[in-house]
Amino acid sequence: MDSASLALLNQRFALNGQLRFEAGPGGLPAVYIANVHTQAALVLQGAHVLSYQPRGQEPVLWASSFGHFAPGRPIRGGIPVCWPWFGAHPADPAKPGHGFVRTALWEVLSTRSEADGSTRIELGLADSPATHALWPHFFALRLAAVVGPQLQVELRIHNTGPEAFTCSGALHSYFSVSEAASIAICGLEGCAYTDKLDGQRQLQDGPVRIAAETDRVYLDTAAECRILDPGLKRAIRLAKAGSRTTVVWNPWIAKAARLEDFGDHEYRRMVCVETANAPPDLIALSPGAEHCLQTSIRVEPI
């Protein structure tokens, strides 16, 4: 996006003292928010929340220092939007992992200041010939982010076509932690999960702890989770709606070394706890129907 296009966005949507559009990492068009509560950044490619840092706190979201910031390349970190499928395409592994919307350029629909000093931005994406080449359905997506004392992200999925479709997806949140091996993730105790490393179904015994490569889909749960981080003396509290699955991921040592956009030792400083509609939690939408996937993130001292 050239400087004239950014200037037009600022003319239409900038909020004095709160929100502006600039060339971000790699030159990607980005939204920078700073208000009385926090500062944050979003990238228009993928409607991607890249950072969120309440005032006086350490960053809440994590992003790799080895990540790609280029047109058409997914970004490692922040909150990628995975849709209309989660993980590999169920029938064609040659199609992009986690769907195609995280590398699409979204449109700015609106911005506004809220009464409590928070800042709201809404982005949109609709089907096109390019999306029909990958997925043959008609849709309209709306992503709203409210940046304030907490970060609220809402993805609305609208079936605008004449036929029903089924989809999956996630708000694939990466969180910054002091040391992955020292944290505890509470709220999933007793939940069944599928371990994607071996395909086995198990029950969670106590809080989730990270001591090896972890890739789990927790099933039939709408529970709020807390990431307890004694090193940072904080808890990250994660509430959600429109989701019956929670995904927990950390690549650990060997996989981190295999990932080109992930530093060999960065696994120690992050964990993904994702608000998801991951299989078997599929969403079926009839013509005209809508589904809303929401996550709310806030930080508390411990």
- Report in angstroms the alpha-carbon separations of 89 from 16, 138, 176, 249: 42, 18, 28, 19
Backbone angles phi, psi at 26, to 5 degrees: 65, 10
Contact 295, 171 (CB under 8 A): yes
Nearest CA-CA partner of 208 in 264, 199, 153, 221 = 221
274 is catalytic: yes
Q: Is 172 a catalytic residue?
A: yes
- 192: alpha, beta or left? (left if phi > 0; alpha if psi -120 to 50): beta
Tokens of 221: 């749960």
Q: How far is 271 from 251, CA to CA, in rounded Å?
A: 9
Q: What is the dihedral of CA 10, 170, 214, 299, to 10 degrees?
A: 50
Two tokens at 116?
């409590």
Edge-first strand listing for the sheet containing 48-54? 19-23, 29-34, 38-43, 48-54
Residue among 274, 290, 291, 300 flagged as catalytic: 274
Q: Which residues contact 260 (CB under 8 A, 6 or more apart)?
A: 66
172, 179, 189, 266: which is the annotated catalytic residue?
Answer: 172
Q: In this structure, are residues 104 and 139 in contact, taking their beta carbons and an 8 Å threshold?
A: no
User: Rounded to whole angstroms, how far apart are CA atoms 270 and 88?
Assistant: 22
Catalytic positions, written as ranges? 172, 274
